[in-house]
Structure 1
Amino acid sequence: MERHFINLTFDLEEFDIPEEYGQKVSENNQMDVTLEGMNRLMRVLDKHDITVTFFTTGNFARKNPELVRNLAAKHEIASHALYHSPAHIFQQDDILISKQILESVSESRVTGFRMPRLAPFDESKLTEWGFEYDSSVNPTYLPGRYNLLHKNPLPYIEKGLIELPCSTTPFLRFPLFWLSFKNLPPAIYSSMCLRTLRKRKTLMLYFHPWEFADISSFKLPGFVKNNNGQKLTNRLDGLIQYLKSNKGEFVTCQQFCTQLKEKSYLLKSPWKI
């Protein structure tokens, strides 16, 4: 029987997106918002008894060690660099430092990485530092962010590193990322996910725990704070139920990589947009 794998992933980070729109939020408040969202999120994940991957900043793990350690007992902890805030200038060694912090706090091996904001970075040292996969590519076009239509939309190996691209629809390369989840009607978004899953046999979705907090009071564009809090939590509940009912199999990124290597699922022939 053909298997359809779903990587449900969450970027566990400081709630710093207001900084992009000129609003300063203290680090304590950033953590509080993320933790509020985590409380709602975990109730949904526990309800459905699925395993997911949390791409976690080293800074968040240092400030919330007990939470990260508890998450690691069931879910995968992967690296989301050291800091997420643009106020901290990214250094290449941040990746290694983050990995060391996360492994110490979670008491588990960290094999995956995702760059904050999916920004370009030098991947050359990831395998040397013990990473097995990266998920920093969104193979679509987002004005003002990136144009990665030339990138492979399917999992592939490059220089010994497994790349797990974020999902886009097989046609038109429409991104199935967090903003689509928040702003499209749930039935349309769910249908697009299912079509992609059936065509690609894999689905990589990414959201943020802070989205599930009440962020309506912050000065953010409507497309960022639409359907936040409990309303968005209900959407996630419905999405998971829909994909489960259509035989989607939720696995961590590391579990998926193991399947890729064992079953030789990695792309071996030319791909089409």
Structure 2
Amino acid sequence: MILLSFDIEEFDIPNEYEADLPLEEQIRVSTEGTIKILDCLLKNQVKATFFCTANYALHAPQIIERIRDEGHEIASHGFYHSAFVISDLKKSREILESLTGTPIYGYRQPRMMPIPENAVYEAGYRYNSSLNPTFIPGRYANFSTPRTAFVKNKVLQIPASVTPLLRFPLFWLSYHVLPSFLYRRLCRYTHNHDSYLTTYFHPWEFYRLSGHPEWKLPFIIRCNSGEKMAKRLNDFILYFRKRNIVFITYSEFEKLNCTKP
């Protein structure tokens, strides 16, 4: 099983590099990228989970409608991507449910930062996908946490996949910097070991970031963006489809695991 997901949010990364990007432009970049993602998923008849900030959803309701209408799962990515208070957990879920008319079961904290599990449960979520169980200097130090799904405080934790033993991360950045064939083989190895794989990307990766030096983004973020990333996503899907490995949503995975202690 492949749990493919996308974090749909305001494109605020330039702000981390002291490049001020207006909210309207942040929404436009994310929207263009999301359209490319949806076109690829539709062509390949694959369903995915979209973790959306309420702020983005309120500014791009037509995109949220398309995600829902094409059968994908919508989950919460908080209210704002660059700011967080505990009350945003429930507030973002309620706004997304109002916009989509569907229940919101899952949550992912922006930038995969720690979040109290009791607060996630009290806000009405069934699963949380906010853990990257690896070590990345200045970002993650999670070598002692479980690599695979587990229950904590009545919430199913669905970590991002990392390779066995070395815990090499298989998230979006790895697919940018590694040769594509090597990334897919590492994913297949991990899938065979764990019986499933989770990975995530962002819509702005499918926008031609190299065309905007004024955003001051480092090369590891800009490389293989735009159409190159769209091709990589298509190749990733085809690679697993040819091996008869199915794609499921996070809520479908949660239902399969909800009886585990």
Fold-level similarity (TM above 0.5): yes
Alignment-derived partner of residue 271 in structure 1: none
Q: Could you tell me whether the CA contact under 8 Å between 1:6 and 1:204 is conserved in 2? A: yes
Q: Could you tell me whether the CA contact under 8 Å between 1:8 and 1:204 is conserved in 2? A: yes
Alignment-derived partner of residue 27 in structure 1: 23
Alignment-derived partner of residue 247 in structure 1: 244
Q: Which amino acid aligns with 1:149?
A: F
Q: How much has 1:29 moved relative to structure 2?
A: 0.5
CA RMSD of aligned residues (A): 1.1
Give aligned pairs, total: 257
The answer on 1:201 being equivalent to 2:198 is no
Q: Which amino acid aligns with 2:122?
A: E
Q: How much has 1:125 moved relative to structure 2?
A: 2.1
Q: Which amino acid aligns with 1:173?
A: R
Q: Give me the whole-angstrom Cα distance separating, in 1, the residues matched to 2:141 and 2:41.
A: 33
CA deviation vs aligned residue, 1:223-273 (integer Å, no higher than 9, x gap): 011100001100110011001112221000001111123xx5x5x7xxxxx
Alignment-derived partner of residue 70 in structure 1: 66
TM-score by length of 1: 0.92
Q: How much has 1:40 moved relative to structure 2?
A: 1.4
Alignment-derived partner of residue 13 in structure 2: 17
TM-score by length of 2: 0.96
**Structure 1 stretches of 4+ moved >4 Å:** none
Q: Give me the whole-angstrom Cα distance separating, in 1, the residues matched to 2:17 and 2:204.
A: 16
More helix by share: 2
Mapping for residues 93-172 of structure 1, pairs under 5 Å = 93-172=87-166
Alignment-derived partner of residue 186 in structure 2: 192
User: Which of 250, 255, 259 pairs up with 2:256?
Assistant: 259
Q: Give me the whole-angstrom Cα distance separating, in 2, the residues matched to 1:185 and 1:19.
A: 28
Q: Which amino acid aligns with 2:52?
A: T
Alignment-derived partner of residue 44 in structure 1: 40
Alignment-derived partner of residue 176 in structure 1: 170
Mapping for residues 201-240 of structure 1, pairs under 5 Å = 201-216=195-210, 217=212, 218-240=215-237
Q: Could you tell me whether the CA contact under 8 Å between 1:92 and 1:122 is conserved in 2? A: no
Q: How much has 1:67 moved relative to structure 2?
A: 1.6
SS at the partner of 1:223?
helix
